[in-house]
Amino acid sequence: MQVVLRDNDQGPFLSKVLAYGQAEALLDEAQLAQIKAKAVLMSLKLADKFYNKYKMHLLEHAAFDVIGVASLGLMALSERDLNRALTLLMTPDGIVKSFQKGWSMLSTVSKYKISGKSVYGDIDNILLDRVSSPSDADEWMGWQAYQEALLDFNRQESVACLLKQFYSQASYDPLDCLGLESVFAEVVLYRMFFGPVKIKQDLKQRLAHIELQDSWFTVEHFELQVKNTLAELPTDLAETISVDLGKYFSPGLLRTLTFAKSYREQLLKGVSPERLERLEYKEGLSGLLGWPIYIVM
């Protein structure tokens, strides 16, 4: 594997660190040769496992994978500090540890990825392809790709945690495409209506049997409900949800509550499920934050 040394801030982090070591006379030719040799061996092993080491273009692909994944891990382990990164690379297994770290990071955020069966086992094909890079690339977007995948993973993991903690049926299927904001909104509404009980698909039926308090119909009331619900969650989960909530979250819940009042009035009149469904669609389900979407039979 040819590791080209360039001082390019936009290129892969591994190349940037090696170029820095050479420029500052902190990395001699023998040390650089050791790192290269280890990287070549890693590329051969990766090609043997996932590609075909006897086809040169696939071996080159494996080398790009090693550069990208090692860059990712090296950035994380060194907190993007060039001196710390170089010190790590100069240890006997520095590049191996960097690659292992990067691979672990990609494996974690690939948990909910849906892009077909991956040839890389537990790592998403598309994500690894975005991280993979030649050493002399003018632009490397691997870190940004990982951050995007991490954000999506945190959201989906948060949805799974909310389902587990608050819902009677806690199974989570990524194919359901549940939004974190909408799931949390349903939690806030349901618990405001019925107290600290497990959430079931019965809100629409039970709505007729509760009294909607006038004090609920304010943005300030919903902000308090949001604060109280977040307080029940682990700190990391609460922070993830807080970041995801838009400034119109509480006003959106107030709008949904106003609709719930109209829906309840129709329930009390004994209108048919078909008319209730038409009422929902007329209002626009996508605009009813936290309103459960299921069919009342």
* pLDDT-based confidence at residue 60 (cuts at 50, 70, 90): confident
Predicted pLDDT at 131: 97
Full DSSP string of the chain? --------TTS-HHHHHHHHHHHTT-S-HHHHHHHHHHHHHHHHHHHHHHS-TTSHHHHHHHHHHHHHHHHHHHHHHHTT-HHHHHHHHTSTTHHHHHHHHHHHHHHHHTTT--SS--TTSSS-HHHHHHH---TT-S---HHHHHHHHHHHHHHHHHHHHHHHHHBSS----GGG---HHHHHHHHHHHHHHH-S--B-TTHHHHGGGSPPPGGGSSHHHHHHHHHHHHHTS-HHHHHHHHHH--TTHHHHHHHHHHHHHHHHHHHHHT--HHHHHHHHHHH-GGGSTT-------
Q: 200-256 pLDDT, tens per residue? A: 989 999 999 999 999 999 999 999 999 999 999 999 899 999 988 988 999 999 999
Of 201, 192, 262, the closest CA to residue 223 belongs to: 192
Query: What residue ranges do the domains of the chain occupy?
Result: 13-140, 155-287
Predicted pLDDT at 2: 46
Average pLDDT over residues 111-140: 84
Q: Inform me whether the pLDDT recorded for 15 exceeds 90.
A: yes
The position carrying tokens 């990524």 is: 174
Predicted pLDDT at 293: 78
Average pLDDT over residues 270-293: 84
Predicted pLDDT at 203: 92
Query: Higher-confidence residue: 108 or 59?
Result: 108
d(CA 15, CA 18): 5
Q: Which amino acid is at 152?
A: D
Exposure string (b/e) for 208-226, b if CB count within 10 Å is 16 or more? eeeeeeeebeeeebbeebb
* pLDDT-based confidence at residue 5 (cuts at 50, 70, 90): very low
Structure tokens given for 238: 């609460």
d(CA 262, CA 283): 11
Q: How many percent of the chain have pLDDT more than 70?
A: 90
* pLDDT-based confidence at residue 114 (cuts at 50, 70, 90): low
Alpha carbon 105 to its chain's center: 12
HSE on the CB side for 27, CA within 13 Å? Answer: 25
Q: Inform me whether the pLDDT recorded for 3 exceeds 80.
A: no
C-alpha distances out from residue 285 to 203, 204, 255, 279, Å? 15, 14, 12, 10
Average pLDDT over residues 274-286: 82
Residue 17 in contact with residue 82, Cβ under 8 Å?
yes
pTM of this structure:
0.83
* pLDDT-based confidence at residue 97 (cuts at 50, 70, 90): very high
Q: Inform me whether the pLDDT recorded for 177 exceeds 80.
A: no
Q: How many percent of the chain have pLDDT more than 90?
A: 68
Predicted pLDDT at 1: 43
Residue 253 in contact with residue 205, Cβ under 8 Å?
no
d(CA 248, CA 246): 5
Q: What is the mean pLDDT of the chain?
A: 89
C-alpha distances out from residue 165 to 104, 189, 232, 236, Å? 27, 15, 10, 15
